[in-house]
Amino acid sequence: MTNKEVIERHLMAQSNAIHAERKTRSEAARMRFEAIAFIATLATCIATIVVVRESNARLDDLAPAQVPATTETLRPSFIAPVNPSQTAGAHLILDASTYADKYIGRMTASGITYRHSKPIAASNVHPLGARVSITYRGRTVYAVIEDRLAKRHSDRIDLSRSLWDALTNNAEPSIARDCKVMEVAR
């Protein structure tokens, strides 16, 4: 074997060793990146679970509470959201409608997933998380405000299908005019 062949073999061995080391380093970096991505995904999942549990706790706590007596009745002529102190304890006269089927499974403004069976409502007038009572033709239902409407619907409240059925005695979805809405608690 000549000196030239020995040098070529030595250089080839060094090149192979450097390539193997780079491959090991890039694999370690890829594994670190995957671990960081997994931890970030896990943290997002945990945060989502916490938000959902808090929202469900608010829904579970929803019950006919002591409704403050008031004689004031308001019909909003503004594009909300308004200052919550303006609506606390006051009866608002709003039109009620129900969510369309296309919203099932979508996230609400507060971060929970919409289902027809949940006692939630969407309103631009009340703050998120507020508990409200809605009265229509002598029937009353209670809801938690978990979503928002388009700005043009400042005089409306959207109800989940279960609340709509309870309020209108299973009427076809449309608009229930002049419902009395009052914030019960936050």
How much is the pLDDT for 109? 87
How much is the pLDDT for 32? 82
Q: 134, 121 in Cβ contact below 8 A? A: yes
How much is the pLDDT for 48? 78
How much is the pLDDT for 1? 67
The label of the residue with tokens 């949940």 reads 118
How much is the pLDDT for 60? 58
Strands 91-98 and 156-159 come out as parallel
How much is the pLDDT for 31? 81
Query: Which ranges of the chain have pLDDT less than 70?
Result: 1, 55-90, 185-186
CA 105 to chain centre: 10
How much is the pLDDT for 101? 84
Question: Pick from 157, 25, 32, 149: which is nearest to 91 by CA?
Answer: 157
Question: Pick from 136, 131, 125: which is nearest to 169 by CA?
Answer: 136
- Fold observed for domain 73-185: Barwin-like endoglucanases (2.40.40)
How much is the pLDDT for 78? 42
Question: If you compute the radius of gyration of the chain from its CA atoms, what whole number of angstroms results?
Answer: 29
